[in-house]
């Protein structure tokens, strides 16, 4: 049997809030938030480990942002094709130009 136990420290941020003003989040902003949820670095970790974890987090953040941009582009292609197939080529072209 498999047993998982999580005991976050009381000082760790379990819930957070992020907002934007008159826009959605960019892939870079979302990638940064994602990495903060995936990777945590202990305050008591040796400096070399902290440096390595920070470098890994920065690398992963770039990968996540790149794939998020690809997902956005792919979704726009899907929406473009759906609008075009539904007989709305003008609307489809507006989506394509975004």
Quote the mean pLDDT of the chain. Answer: 89
Contact 31, 64 (CB under 8 A): yes
- The reply to whether 62 falls in a domain is yes
pLDDT in tens, 55-69: 999 999 999 999 999
- C-alpha to C-alpha distance for 96 and 61, rounded to whole angstroms: 27
- The reply to whether 79 falls in a domain is yes
Q: Which domain holds residue 67?
A: 27-33+46-96
- C-alpha to C-alpha distance for 28 and 38, rounded to whole angstroms: 15
- The reply to whether 21 falls in a domain is no
Number of domains composing the chain: 1
Q: pLDDT band at 98, cuts 50/70/90?
A: confident
- The reply to whether 72 falls in a domain is yes
Contact 61, 19 (CB under 8 A): no
Contacts of 28 (CB under 8 A, 6+ apart): 61, 65
Q: Is the pLDDT of residue 35 over 60?
A: yes
Q: Is the pLDDT of residue 16 over 90?
A: no
Give residue 45's region: left, alpha or beta (phi > 0; psi -120 to 50). beta
Q: pLDDT band at 14, cuts 50/70/90?
A: low
- The reply to whether 1 falls in a domain is no
- C-alpha to C-alpha distance for 75 and 77, rounded to whole angstroms: 5
Q: Residue 64 is encoded by which pair of tokens? A: 């996540």
């Amino acid at each position: 049997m498999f047993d998982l136990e999580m005991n976050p420290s009381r000082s760790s941020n379990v819930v957070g809030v992020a907002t934007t003003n008159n826009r959605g989040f960019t892939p870079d902003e979302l990638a940064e938030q994602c990495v903060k949820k995936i990777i945590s670095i202990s305050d008591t970790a040796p400096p070399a480990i902290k440096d390595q974890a920070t470098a890994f987090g920065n690398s992963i953040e770039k990968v996540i942002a790149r794939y998020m941009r690809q997902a956005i582009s792919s979704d726009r292609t899907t929406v473009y094709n759906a609008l075009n197939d539904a007989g709305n080529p003008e609307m489809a072209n507006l989506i394509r130009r975004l």
